[in-house]
Structure 1
């Protein structure tokens, strides 16, 4: 039997690191990062996010690996916002209304009946208004990528009647999320908003605690709200999206070449996800109609007039500030 000398052993150990770096042998990533969100893996956001993660790994030659934690695995929105601020996770895709609990101006995209269509949405959020919001988030040590991802326009369903004009909102008992902006808007329209957790919506509609609710069409479909509602009015009253954000310290640690790779993949994936949501909305409406939900499309004019007359726009212009409000009106026209 051969006897290994001390010199032979030391030479073997010294060569070991070079053996690990040999071609074809996997190396540990320089940056192992976590991304949390609140949606199932089957949602277009996670499908496109996985494509971005795969592209980042390939283009960085394995230097950056990102693991996705979907479906609230790491906690609710408030928990994950706190984690991405502290560095417990590296990426998060909160709704603008969630970010607004930390950065109030982030809610400006959810001003009632501000956007007529997606052309106006993307002109604002890909342009100066979006840059203004990103700058505000940067002051809270959050890096927001340039392209927002889509969560969709919110629509109104009711068990009583279709919503044709602002007058039809009078006295309507409608469930809204726990959002000061949403509550204020429906109060300004003379409705009776009730803040409830989403898990309570179906039962509350079924038992007539509320008569109406508002959500993007895919949420209405997934939650089977068509079973307890008769009408769906395409009010498009609020548009909301997801900001893809990173912990500021994590982002600053990345070398410039890796920042370029990560940002390029995430922004490109966001553009594809927008198109996915557009197509999904078309199929969802057809499905809900086939299941008996009656659709109508009211004009925004009477709603805008009611919000203007009630002082809603003037109030929120004061809250968001002249600069942010001015940037919004550059894309949507005069509101207040």
Structure 2
């Protein structure tokens, strides 16, 4: 892991972009790949990056050096995606819905109540509709989706109000990522969707700027949200993929042998991370309960029914007619 302030990063962005564009032969001996992350170092996704970096460095004998910048050092998720698109940053990982700001139809991959289970979600990487989306993203924004990772089942937490059904969240201010599908889901529950960047979430919860939030268990735990939230409600409303995104120009500029090594290391890292997250999900309910959270298994239909009644139709023009049904049928 490398330390870098956002100011220092932005000051060097132009130079970084130029380095990415340079032919390999003109670069310094080590080809540096800078990978920005929003999550803290304790999260398996950041640990995955470090494992990938170690494997790549070993197998390329130091020719390729992946440097990790976790915990939002380089700004918001949108900041980092913009930086990858411009070439100032090499890689980042973010949700499909967030990437929808670059390619609107991509947000369907992170739609609520679409996937039956993680195995169903993992099929998306080989689906023709996803391949087409990747081609479009490369063409339109110069971004390549290098891999699909599992991020976990998303659950609801609240600060002071116990929740047994969607009726109990009516009027509550629930933090969502700055993404339209998440806002529509929360509004279908009758709550007030309040966009907050993840690196500002702990403070927003501690100060009461929002009443609750939703995230996978490993994210809740690694960000220590149990310190500022009393209730854990096991809604499981989204089975979340996250996408490893890389600057296409950089990717094409890698030597074939090095590109193969990076691809293999990413695949190995994703396999490890997905298993680690699944393992953590199996034990974290008890861990969070022991930390003082109350745990509720709510009326799931009260949450899913209003969302499924409105959201697929609401976003059909954005996702493409039949896209939801095609993915649900995988």
In structure 1, the residue matched to 2:66 is 66
Structure 1 pair 66/29, CA: closer, same or farther in 2 (3 Å)? farther
How far 1:252 moved relative to its partner? 0.9
Deviation string for 1:128-179 (max 9, x for gaps)?
Answer: 454343223222211211x312322221123222233x44443333232322
Query: Distance between the aligned counterparts of 1:222 and 1:50, measured in 2?
Result: 16
What is aligned with 1:259? 259
* Superposition CA RMSD, Å: 2.6
Q: How far did 1:193 drift?
A: 2.2
Q: Report the Cα distance in structure 2 between the residues aligned to 1:138 and 1:223, rounded to whole angstroms.
A: 32
The alignment partner of 1:98 has SS state of helix
* Matches of 2:237 and 2:249, distance apart in 1: 36
Q: Kindly name which structure, 1 or 2, has the bigger radius of gyration based on alpha carbons.
A: 1
Shift of residue 204, structure 1, vs aligned partner? 5.1
CA contact (8 A) 1:87 1:247 kept: yes
Q: Quick one: distance in 2 between partners of 1:38 and 1:259?
A: 25
In structure 1, C-alpha distance between the alignment counterparts of 2:71 and 2:308, rounded to whole Å: 38
Q: Report the equivalent of 1:234.
A: 234
Instruction: Give the distance between the partners of 2:180 and 2:149, measured in 1 at CA.
Output: 23
5+ residue gaps, structure 1, are 1-27, 332-336
User: How has the CA–CA distance of structure 1 residues 215 and 248 changed in structure 2, closer, same or farther, with 3 Å as cutoff?
Assistant: same
Q: State the match for 2:134 in structure 1.
A: 134
Matched residue of 1:244: which SS? strand
Once residues 124 and 65 of structure 1 are traced to their aligned partners in structure 2, the CA distance between those partners, rounded to angstroms, is: 30
CA distance in 1, matches of 2:134, 2:67: 24
CA pair 218-253 structure 1, distance change in 2 beyond 3 A: same
How many pairs are equivalent?
Answer: 301
Question: How many angstroms apart in 1 are the aligned matches of 2:52 and 2:226?
Answer: 34
TM-score (norm 1): 0.79
Cα distance in 2 between the residues matched to 1:58 and 1:91? 19
Q: Residue 327 of structure 1 corresponds to which residue in structure 2?
A: 326
Greater shift after overlay, 238-247 or 192-201?
192-201
Q: Which residue of 2 aligns with 1:106?
A: 106
Task: Find the counterpart in structure 1 of residue 289 from structure 2.
Answer: 289
Stretches of structure 2 lacking an aligned partner (at least 5 in a row): 1-27
Contact 1:29/1:65 (CA < 8 Å) preserved in 2?
A: no
Q: 1:87 to 1:119 in 2, by over 3 A?
A: same
